[in-house]
Structures are given as C-alpha cells and as structure tokens.
Amino acid sequence: MVRVAALATDGLEEIELTAPRAALEKAGATVTIISLRAGEFQAVNKDIYPSHNIWADLAIVGANPNDYDALLLPGGLASPDALRMNKDVVAFVRAFVKANKPIAAICHGVQTLIEVNELKGRTVTSCPAIRTDLENAGATWVDSDVVVDGPYVFSRCPADIPAFNKAMLKHFKLS
C-alpha cells in the first residue's frame, strides 16, 4: 500500500486537497494530512472564502518522512506560504527530495520546493501568479495542465485537477 503525506494548513484551497485525496484513497493509498499542528485548520474556496475545516492527522513535529512513500503539496495562497516558513516542514520536504520520492504539487503548493532549493533546472507549472518566483528559483515555467519532471508532478489550478489526479496516480504507481 502506498502511504502519502499531504502537507497543508490554514488557507489551503480545499478542493486541491480533497479531490486528490479522494482519488488516492480510491486507488488504495493511505493519506495522512500533516499540518503545523494536529487537529482542525481552516480551508478556503477560491483563495479567500472560508470553507470547511480540515482535520490534520499529525503535527509536523511528530511526522517522519520515512513513514511515507510519496508527498502531496496542495495549494491555496496562505497554506504554502506558512508551510515554507516552518523549518520542520522544510526538513520534511527536503527528506523526500533527497530520497527521490515522488512529489505532486498543485497551484501554490510548489512554493515549498523553492525553500529546499530543488527547482533549478526543472520544468514546472503552477498558477501564473508565482511564475516569476519559480523562474527566480531556476525553474522553467510552462503553461500546461500537468508537467512531470523527474520525481515531480506539477499542475496549475483546480480546473486541472482531473489531469493532475491522473498524472499523480500514475506517478505514485497507483494506476
């Protein structure tokens, strides 16, 4: 069984976690939601409208990257920004990068990879708002629904979730 860690906190774009999580679980994976603290956090819809509370199974301080086979980095404006500023999150993501484990990032979720200095020479996609940030980190940004580069799957936005899920399941060896 494939064990997937999903990193998110307040300001998560809800559909960018819930839809991939449902696809992963339907394919037989186990998904653990890891946040800055265990318990509830506030998701949003369309980056600004409060939606549902999401339950974090585990706080990042108690998370061990060796317990997971793959990583999901959903977006939203606030969640990735808060996550990338946390040293434990950065260390957790860095461990996936060093182990060459598959990582799927949608929308702003890719920002955490900037913090681990992993995007130089990579081809990526994301929401257009962070194109310059990604290019400044050394990536080549393209406007595509899905980009696969090495151990990474990238996607732009909620409209791309069907293509993202299909590519993620294949990349995580679930289809």
With CA atoms as reference, report the closest residue to 91 among 38, 99, 136: 99
Q: Tell me which amino acid residue 8 is.
A: A
Catalytic residue chosen out of the listed positions 52, 108, 127, 157: 108
Residue 52 annotated as catalytic: no
Residue 107 annotated as catalytic: yes
CA dist 138 and 148 (Å) reads: 16
CA dist 174 and 157 (Å) reads: 22
Catalytic residue chosen out of the listed positions 52, 107, 157, 171: 107
Please answer whether residues 104 and 153 qualify as being in contact, where contact means their C-beta atoms are separated by less than 8 angstroms.
yes
Q: Catalytic residue positions?
A: 107-108
